[in-house]
Amino acid sequence: MQVAIGKSVLAGIAIGPLHIYKKKAIPQIEQYSSRTPAQEWERFEIACEKANQVLLELYEKALAEMGEENAAIFEIHRMMLEDEDFLDAIKEMLKNQSSTAEFAVSMVGERFSATFAAMDDEYMQARASDVKDVSGRVVGILTGQQQETILLLQPAILVADDLTPSQTIQLDRSRVLGFLTRHGSSNSHTAILARTMNIPALVGVDFDDSWDGKLAVLDGYDHCVYIDPTPERLSEMQERRKKDLEQLAFLQALRGKQNRTLDGREIKVYANIGDTQDVELVLQCDAQGIGLFRSEFLYLNAQDWPTEEQQFLYYQHVIKAMEGKKVIIRTLDIGADKQADYFRLDKEDNPALGYRAIRVCLTREEIFRQQLRAILRASAFGNVSVMFPMIISVWELERAKAILEGCKTELHKQGIAIGALEIGIMVETPAAVIIADELAAQVDFLSIGTNDLTQYTLAIDRQNPRLDRFYDPQHPAVLRMIRHVVEAGHRHNCWVGICGELGAEQTLTETFLRMGLDELSVAPSAVLPLRRLICSLDLSKKQ
């Protein structure tokens, strides 16, 4: 048995023969042209029109099979064909180097792809393959070499150096058991499509041509592939695959249904996300909404301040994808262990107790207003709530709400539509717990951030591994605080949830529900097990 390691795109098990796809050799491209630059530009424009038509067909296919969010990949490719920097660079090569259109597209595509690949941000790195896909399509049209469609004669685990989104969408899904690629990333559009199609996949696998046709097990949980597995390993993986299928069947039975205990109590199960890409996972697990959208990841992944328009499009993408389900956006929670250089935050001796979250927003109001305007604009496209982090006093909450109201007034005056908006806060400190009655009187919901609440209650830095044995998120003091917040919230007609790691702790689920918690928001991978457990509980029985 041979074992190779990769990076998992989708946790799951695939068992079957390996099929190695090899690209056909690219014909040599003529560099210099006997035509005029104007004639070559005309050839390029005609090729772009043909490429645009093919991409439109791929968009419609993806829209029908996988929804608008995934079809948007091909809209992005069409936009690349209209990118001014891309077009200007090609025009310059045609004019100054007398090159053929295909050579110019190939060189410019390589240059742009290399620029993306060299970026620090993983998402932007993944765009390198999109540039290659688009430029390769245009070059293929110019040279008469259309992009290949991969054909599988039998169900197999597909192995390739890399796969383009257009190749992926055209695959016969009934015959693709899994993907293995040498290149690519978990943020690539091909990887996104693989997750959407629920196909286990690994990237970064250094495969060998001798694997072709051999039996293999792709283990997306442990990020590896077994070639010619031993009978024992094969049997073990077959059992895990069987459990996966049972879990999938259970999800299908729950899809679209409420999460109710046996005695009829309805509990909301939401998912936490940190990026727009996580929405696919939320939809796959059929969470009832997003209970924590960590908006700071947009800032952390940027090299400079994201504009209001960039933020609006970022939020709008998630909101539209959720199709009316609740999306709770936590306002900027920067500082402490989450730093972005362009914020120029001073180094602090005790950052966990320092300048962070709402404290940054209330002292740098222009940043806050810009984000709130973007959230309000996006709220017109779905069911949105806004949540303020690290609130410890009534005046902070009142000031945050006043700024929000000011943004609403501005937008109304500009004739910009906004939706109805619930307002909530994160309860993360003992101070917020103690004055929970006063805070609950001013909001629609309270969401308990158990990670920080535990840290501040126990006076333990949760980032310090030396203190792991002392860090107890199930400490009686923490649980009593949670109960206190639930009771205070309900006295003021607020719903109360948990959006920290403790919400996924199944040994506490029944305890939380008996306390009266209305909502649990957890990582997407924890949604299905939690839903299953909730549906098996009978809270009418005495403990």
Q: What is the DSSP string of 317-379?
A: HHHHHTTTSEEEEEP---BTTB--GGG-PPP-SSGGGSS-THHHHHHSHHHHHHHHHHHHHHG
| Marked catalytic residue, from 189, 285, 407, 494 | 189
Cα–Cα distance measured from residue 384 to residue 423, given in angstroms and rounded to the nearest whole number:
9
Position 463 scores a pLDDT of: 64
- Neighbour order of strands in the sheet with 215-219: 2-5, 224-227, 215-219, 13-20, 156-160, 176-181, 201-203, 7-10
Token duo for residue 31:
């560099």
One-letter identity of residue 363: T
Position 61 scores a pLDDT of: 78
Local mean pLDDT, 10-residue blocks, the chain (543 residues): 85 89 74 84 91 85 69 80 88 83 89 81 71 86 76 85 75 83 70 71 87 91 91 92 82 78 92 83 88 86 81 92 94 70 68 80 92 96 96 96 96 94 96 97 96 89 74 90 97 94 89 94 86 89 75
499 is catalytic: yes
| Marked catalytic residue, from 48, 285, 361, 499 | 499
Model pTM score:
0.62
19 is catalytic: no
Cα–Cα distance measured from residue 512 to residue 434, given in angstroms and rounded to the nearest whole number:
19
Position 26 scores a pLDDT of: 65
Q: What angle in degrees, to the nearest 10, is found between the helix axes of 189-196 and 68-80?
A: 160
**Rounded to the nearest 5°, which phi and psi values hold at 387?**
-135, 125
Token duo for residue 213:
């046709």
Position 186 scores a pLDDT of: 65
Position 122 scores a pLDDT of: 64
One-letter identity of residue 269: V
